Structure 1
Amino acid sequence: MSIAGCLRRLRRRAHHSADTPSDGSQADFTIRAVLLGLLIGCLLCFTNLYFGLQTGWISMMSLQSALIGFLMSKLLRKPMSAQENVVLQTTAVATGTMPLAAGFVGILPALGLLDEKRDGVPPMHLSWIAAVGWSCAVAFFGVFLSPPLRKQVIIEEQLAFPSGTATGQLISVLHDMPPPETSLRQRRGYNALASTDDDDGIAYVASEDPRVSDALRASEPVPTEVPVVEEREGWSALSWSFAASGVMTLLAYFFPAVFSIPLFGTYLASQWMWTFTPSLSYVGQGIIMGFPTTLSMNLGMLVGWGILSPLAKHSGWAPGPIGDMTVGARGWILWVSLAIMCSDSLVSLVPVVVELFQEKVWRALRGSVDDVDSVKESKEVETEDRLVPMSWVAWGLAGSVILGTLLVWLVFGDEGIKPWATLLGFVMGALLSVLGVRALGETDLNPVSGLGKISQLFFAWIQPGNIVANIIAGGVAEAGAQQAGDLMQDLKTGHLIHASPRAQFFGQLIGSCLSIIVTTTAYTLYQRAYEIPGPSFPAPTAFVWLGLARLLRDGELPERSALFMVFFAILFGAVAAAKTYAVRSGWPHAKWIPSGVAFAIGFLNTPSFSLARLVGGIVEHVYYTRVGRENGGIKLIVIASGFVLGEGVVSVVSLILRTFGVGVASCWGCGHGMCGGCPAA
């Protein structure tokens, strides 16, 4: 046998253990990993739908899924491998993010806000089967986009994808593996050995970190200095934080004043919506989001609710009730928020577009395509049996587009959106996915809000005057961009941990299939039990979608709002440019430059949501400053995850109680009228 053949066998032995089946994907794709991923994903699905309808906030929770999955696997007879954990968290994320991908927190509530006199069409409330059809139409397009995007942004360009990288690092620590970067260099070394017959390949491996060579000879993992959370300690922290958040949620259901404290006085609470919600889940969200993001959100809250809202009210620009999203101050500042989000997202995309043009279009025009392809091939570390075949991708994309176009036509009819417009929506989704994924890989921010607005602008031009088509086509495009971005973070994690991309692909499909039923059923139950949008679930992003669609059709803005929109758009365009430059330049304090999207969310949500998250952000900052991320970071993540999951899961109990007519126990303390569960509110 030739030297190259021996080296190829050596590489295969590095990829597969003695008991691994011939199909590499099967070693990672196990029933227990998928089932645990579906279980965790269903909890995340309810949690994301609950918080998405309340605040518009949705989280991938990939890191939290991996951590909880690791703890749960300890209950099994044989603990999971790191690769199984990757498949578990991939399945959980695909299941848990469907409320945003299918528009249950924005698109569907926006359709329910339509006014026949103003919009020419009555409100549209989809039945359960119609909502399932709509979800099926948009659930799989992004999944089939992920394999080709993976080859481009993860293998060839090697973008960072900070959240996916952090999840990979956590999994490597939990499972006592070498650091992901070391493992990746090791696998690339084997690939170099297998593809050459000369001495250069051997020299490449010999030049690796000495610790790697020692570990290869001893078949032992490279030691890391990051501590592993103890099983008993992890379960204890997760259990008590989950229980505490759940008890608070039930207490707030029976005594709504618990979650609506007039911290700044009854007048500000009743007239200006300044209350405080001591929700442990919002504190947990603040911990996960981090202090810089929560600080940006609260700066936006102060400007929006403390300055612009009173200004608009007292100047007569927003004469209606403060909380009215049409003629009130809340509706007035909504437009400024929209301008900030669009400006921030678009400016952040400019360098992505420029680089994409330079690296692809310009290099192709100069005849260097062959060089690019050869580089891409040399950087791939997976064997063909572990990759998703391109034939699957081609058939899947074609099938998902055709099926999606047909289902959208069946659900909404010709009056809603023409099939050719839906088809264009999928094309837009594919193009915007490239931009969104690259932005996510470089900045850890997927600007789906701005991308959705780009799609709305496009469809206002090609199908003017049709608000329903504008919203639906924008939702189709946004779904592809959002889902492709989320899945790319998971594939980055799998790339670092050496999990099979094919196994992750299967997990994505299975998670998406189940989540269609879970999300639709949960949303239908919420609709029956609560008014959406309403006091308990204001669905702020629904007003953003509908507001822009109306603006593009009518061109009418609230009085003087255009001036402030232009000012804040220019201001945060400059801030976004500075932040993008600082991040790309590696400036260590770049995270303290305000985030335009977070700042705008402070406008969308009432102060109660932002203040509680600020508490969590402060806790995160103080804790890490005093204890250090290496000494206690994992435990804090466990506690934050328990806080978020506790309220999200126990909210299902509240939903069942509301459905069966069990009301609040007492409205004591709700005199300010801001308690969502009391009749007076």
Structure 2
Amino acid sequence: MENNGEDKMVEMSFNEKDRNIKRRVVEKRSGDNEIAKEEEEESKESSIEEIFSTKEVPPWQKQVTLRALVVSFVLSILFTFIVMKLNLTTGIIPSLNVSAGLLGFFFVKTWTKFLEKFGMLRQPFTRQENTVIQTCVVASSGIAFSGGFGSYLFGMSDVVAKQSSETTNAHDIKNPALGWMLGFIFVVSFLGLFSVVPLRKIMIIDFKLIYPSGTATAHLINSFHTPQGAKLAKKQVRTLGKFFSFSFIWGFFQWFFTAGDGCGFVNFPTFGLKAYENRFYFDFSATYVGVGMICPHLINISLLVGAILSWGIMWPLIDARKGSWYSADLSPSSLHGIQGYRVFIAIAMILGDGLYNFLKVLTRTLLGLYHQLHKKDTVLPVSGRSSPEDPPSLSYDDEIRTQLFLKDQIPAWLAIAGYVTIGIISAAILPQIFPQLRWYYVVVMYIIAPPLAFCNAYGCGLTDWSLASTYGKLAIFIIGAWAGASHGGVIAGLAACGVMMNIVSTASDLMQDFKTGYMTLASPRSMFLSQIIGTAMGCVISPCVFWLFYKAFNGLGVPGSEYPAPYALVYRNMSILGVQGFSALPKHCLTLCYVFFIAAIVINGIRDAVGKKRASYIPIPMAMAIPFYLGSYFAIDMCVGSLILFVWQKVNKSKAEAFGPAVASGLICGDGIWTLPSSILALAGVNPPICMKFLSRGTNVKVDTFLGS
């Protein structure tokens, strides 16, 4: 499943952003436009703009305020820590749009009420300003994912390279350094913003694309600024604050017991020591309990099914063939041993799922585009004014929104000039950062990127699936093979992945934000500017936060450590496959890869064939693949979160739907922000005072005997 999960946040495309975390707000739609259309009809009937008709819409210059940017910067740091921690642990990143919108509303509303009390308020807080904050925060924290700090970028390092093969070449390694990471992120993160700007009217007004995540965010922000919504938002923020405090204190408490490897609650053998050896345990992570509450139930069940299939059945059976299928003398982390089966079978499932969904969304995109171009009665005049050709059913809301959306134009020449200028600059700079990535590779990618960005943005408007990671993987194989093994094809492929992934990802994200702005009457100019500002913030914040993780935590990127960065190894091995082929795989591994690649395609086909209701009982291959390499501990955490929400919905459904996201966000934010003080303590050399370990009875007797002697 390649959707917003993997591009907004898991490598999971099931997301940003899992079939989709965000789609929760859009009645859990799974790519079917009918539900979204019904939602749009309901919004027309309620006439949101009539509710706000007495409030003046500020000009675009007053929508991007200093206070909005200050709040955005603070929240960007918070959410970047959260996304980075998730990136470097399991790679599963939930949608944080609700949290960003809610906290942005709370901070600015509190500030404006304080000023109003003393008669100092000059400009009231509007939904347009709230939209700017949400856009800025999501654009900024999104760089933590699309920047590849837990995938392709860190996959260049020698830490990950040592896990890929026994011998590595110097030209296939690029270790992290703050300087080149800042330069790389800056030159690749802005191009996507300019690639689809001229098409915003076609996408939003003419084609009337739904963009479910953007629509859901707009409904959320609109509701905050009604009297009833403001009251509910206060209660939601209070709930978020309670669970934020609990999660932060729980993270602090756990820290005291982690004075060595394998210490602390995170290593509690919940189901026994044998199950613990096979990575079946509950690790008391507030973060992943919260993630489980946000993710759809099917995602969590799919993760657990994948964990049982791999760590419960397959890996013990393959391990029993040690000495026959692979050498018994190999280290546990060698890709020529059992680790090779874990990594490459997971890659096969991810690629199979990605290929299926890529072709599926591409087909829908082309068919949808064909029908749109042949239905002239759905196209509005460029001016937005009524004419005999206008659809007779155009609502009051759409009239107001269309008029304001077309009012503040972004000149097409500015977008084209911006794309060409940044393209020339980056084509000159990228080969300086990565000598393996020739300038003509970059030019070719920039020529083909705009059509791919359009396809991704259009497909995202139809289905809410962003396939940015799939385009990135295609770049890995194409550019890596073009460069060749002897000319640094591994690094060239990984760098190309970053270039392509950033362009197509930011293009779809920008169009989602244009849809949000359209429905909240935020100017396209303020949306575009807030995206640029948010991206610029992210280009500084994300590398700095990663650098803090890199310097503070020993063993970053090493399997079994606190931050194993699992997708770094996955992406590097994809690049190696693209350059060197399958010769290094252990016995029967390639056959198993073929089986699971085909199985992923077949399972997806069955899910689409049986209909939505029955498909909710069939696991999702992308979600199943993640525990193949990592284990099941986080899947158990997420299933606990899912169970809590399920029981809550049975007891009080309305309360669960209103406050469930706030509880989940509090758990994620509190545990995520604890990472900042814990990393500062690590850098300062302050170590936890206690090591809490769990031993078997026999081992404990031996330890007691040893200590007694």
- Give the deviation of 1:662 after TM superposition: 1.2
Within 1, Cα distance between the matches of 2:345 and 2:203?
34
Worse-matched range after superposition: 598-607 or 145-154 = 145-154
Determine the structure 2 residue equivalent to 1:26: 61
Worse-matched range after superposition: 229-238 or 246-255 = 229-238
Equivalent in 256, 265, 268 of residue 258 of structure 1 = 265
- Give the deviation of 1:111 after TM superposition: 0.4
Determine the structure 2 residue equivalent to 1:211: none
> Does the alignment pair 1:275 with 2:275?
no
Determine the structure 1 residue equivalent to 2:167: 117
> Does the alignment pair 1:619 with 2:644?
yes
Equivalent in 588, 607, 628 of residue 560 of structure 1 = 588
Kept in 2: contact 1:576–1:595 (CA 8 A): yes
Equivalent in 437, 441, 446 of residue 466 of structure 2 = 446
Determine the structure 2 residue equivalent to 1:159: 209
**How do residues 281-296 of structure 1 correspond to structure 2 at under 5 angstroms?**
281-296=287-302
Kept in 1: contact 2:247–2:667 (CA 8 A): yes
Kept in 1: contact 2:153–2:494 (CA 8 A): no
Within 2, Cα distance between the matches of 1:322 and 1:372?
62
Name the amino acid aligned to 1:51: L
Within 1, Cα distance between the matches of 2:372 and 2:111?
52
Within 1, Cα distance between the matches of 2:626 and 2:231?
34
Determine the structure 2 residue equivalent to 1:473: 496
- Give the deviation of 1:95 after TM superposition: 1.0
Determine the structure 2 residue equivalent to 1:425: 445
**How do residues 511-522 of structure 1 correspond to structure 2 at under 5 angstroms?**
511-522=534-545
Give the TM-score normalised by structure 2: 0.78
**How do residues 19-418 of structure 1 correspond to structure 2 at under 5 angstroms?**
24-78=59-113, 80-112=125-157, 113-114=160-161, 117-119=167-169, 121=171, 123-176=173-226, 229-230=231-232, 232-256=234-258, 257-269=264-276, 271-316=277-322, 317=325, 319=328, 324=333, 326-358=335-367, 360=369, 380-413=402-435, 416-418=436-438
Worse-matched range after superposition: 523-532 or 86-95 = 523-532
- Give the deviation of 1:388 after TM superposition: 2.5
Within 2, Cα distance between the matches of 1:514 and 1:633?
32
Kept in 2: contact 1:114–1:123 (CA 8 A): yes
> Does the alignment pair 1:574 with 2:602?
yes
Within 1, Cα distance between the matches of 2:664 and 2:198?
35
SS at structure 1 position matched to 2:670: helix
Name the amino acid aligned to 2:193: V
Equivalent in 566, 575, 578 of residue 540 of structure 1 = 566
Specify whether residues 243 and 562 from structure 1 end up closer, same or farther in structure 2 by C-alpha distance, changes over 3 A only.
Answer: same
Specify whether residues 618 and 163 from structure 1 end up closer, same or farther in structure 2 by C-alpha distance, changes over 3 A only.
Answer: farther
Name the amino acid aligned to 1:280: A
Specify whether residues 428 and 652 from structure 1 end up closer, same or farther in structure 2 by C-alpha distance, changes over 3 A only.
Answer: farther
Give the TM-score normalised by structure 1: 0.81
Within 2, Cα distance between the matches of 1:670 and 1:152?
61
- Give the deviation of 1:622 after TM superposition: 2.5
- Give the deviation of 1:522 after TM superposition: 1.3
Within 2, Cα distance between the matches of 1:321 and 1:441?
48
Specify whether residues 427 and 559 from structure 1 end up closer, same or farther in structure 2 by C-alpha distance, changes over 3 A only.
Answer: farther
Within 1, Cα distance between the matches of 2:332 and 2:209?
42
Specify whether residues 232 and 375 from structure 1 end up closer, same or farther in structure 2 by C-alpha distance, changes over 3 A only.
Answer: closer
Kept in 2: contact 1:33–1:84 (CA 8 A): yes
- Give the deviation of 1:302 after TM superposition: 1.5
Specify whether residues 335 and 507 from structure 1 end up closer, same or farther in structure 2 by C-alpha distance, changes over 3 A only.
Answer: same
**Structure 2 residue ranges without an equivalent (≥5):** 1-48, 114-123, 259-263, 385-397, 697-709
Within 2, Cα distance between the matches of 1:447 and 1:109?
21
Within 1, Cα distance between the matches of 2:360 and 2:85?
35
Specify whether residues 338 and 427 from structure 1 end up closer, same or farther in structure 2 by C-alpha distance, changes over 3 A only.
Answer: farther
Specify whether residues 671 and 125 from structure 1 end up closer, same or farther in structure 2 by C-alpha distance, changes over 3 A only.
Answer: farther
Within 2, Cα distance between the matches of 1:631 and 1:227?
14
Name the amino acid aligned to 2:493: N
Within 1, Cα distance between the matches of 2:337 and 2:272?
21
- Give the deviation of 1:594 after TM superposition: 2.4
Determine the structure 2 residue equivalent to 1:193: none
Specify whether residues 56 and 392 from structure 1 end up closer, same or farther in structure 2 by C-alpha distance, changes over 3 A only.
Answer: same
- Give the deviation of 1:234 after TM superposition: 2.8
Q: Deviations over 1:199-241 (max 9, x none)?
A: xxxxxxxxxxxxxxxxxxxxxxxxxxx9665455333312221
- Give the deviation of 1:128 after TM superposition: 1.3
Kept in 2: contact 1:60–1:486 (CA 8 A): no
- Give the deviation of 1:15 after TM superposition: 10
Specify whether residues 670 and 440 from structure 1 end up closer, same or farther in structure 2 by C-alpha distance, changes over 3 A only.
Answer: farther
Within 1, Cα distance between the matches of 2:360 and 2:233?
44
Specify whether residues 321 and 670 from structure 1 end up closer, same or farther in structure 2 by C-alpha distance, changes over 3 A only.
Answer: farther
Specify whether residues 165 and 361 from structure 1 end up closer, same or farther in structure 2 by C-alpha distance, changes over 3 A only.
Answer: closer
Specify whether residues 81 and 15 from structure 1 end up closer, same or farther in structure 2 by C-alpha distance, changes over 3 A only.
Answer: closer
Determine the structure 1 residue equivalent to 2:507: 484
- Give the deviation of 1:19 after TM superposition: 6.2
- Give the deviation of 1:451 after TM superposition: 2.5
Name the amino acid aligned to 1:278: F
Equivalent in 627, 642, 658 of residue 634 of structure 1 = 658
Name the amino acid aligned to 2:672: G
- Give the deviation of 1:498 after TM superposition: 2.1
Kept in 2: contact 1:429–1:479 (CA 8 A): no
Within 2, Cα distance between the matches of 1:32 and 1:104?
30
Kept in 1: contact 2:112–2:125 (CA 8 A): no
Q: Deviations over 1:294-333 (max 9, x none)?
A: 1112211221222222222222346577962624434412
Within 2, Cα distance between the matches of 1:153 and 1:320?
58
SS at structure 2 position matched to 1:114: helix
Q: Deviations over 1:38-69 (max 9, x none)?
A: 22122111111111011112344112211111
Within 2, Cα distance between the matches of 1:281 and 1:541?
19
Kept in 1: contact 2:383–2:406 (CA 8 A): no
Q: Deviations over 1:590-625 (max 9, x none)?
A: 444422222222324321111111111222222233
Within 2, Cα distance between the matches of 1:175 and 1:154?
23
Specify whether residues 99 and 232 from structure 1 end up closer, same or farther in structure 2 by C-alpha distance, changes over 3 A only.
Answer: closer
Determine the structure 2 residue equivalent to 1:668: 692
Name the amino acid aligned to 2:432: L
Worse-matched range after superposition: 372-381 or 124-133 = 372-381
Within 2, Cα distance between the matches of 1:363 and 1:237?
44
Q: Deviations over 1:168-201 (max 9, x none)?
A: 2222222128xxxxxxxxxxxxxxxxxxxxxxxx
Kept in 1: contact 2:343–2:570 (CA 8 A): yes
Kept in 2: contact 1:94–1:511 (CA 8 A): yes
Q: Deviations over 1:524-562 (max 9, x none)?
A: 121112232121111111111111111122212332122
Name the amino acid aligned to 2:350: M
Within 1, Cα distance between the matches of 2:381 and 2:407?
21
Aligned residues between the structures: 601
> Does the alignment pair 1:457 with 2:477?
yes
Kept in 2: contact 1:246–1:647 (CA 8 A): yes
Kept in 2: contact 1:309–1:330 (CA 8 A): no
Q: CA RMSD in A?
A: 3.0
Worse-matched range after superposition: 86-95 or 487-496 = 487-496
Kept in 1: contact 2:101–2:221 (CA 8 A): yes
- Give the deviation of 1:580 after TM superposition: 4.3
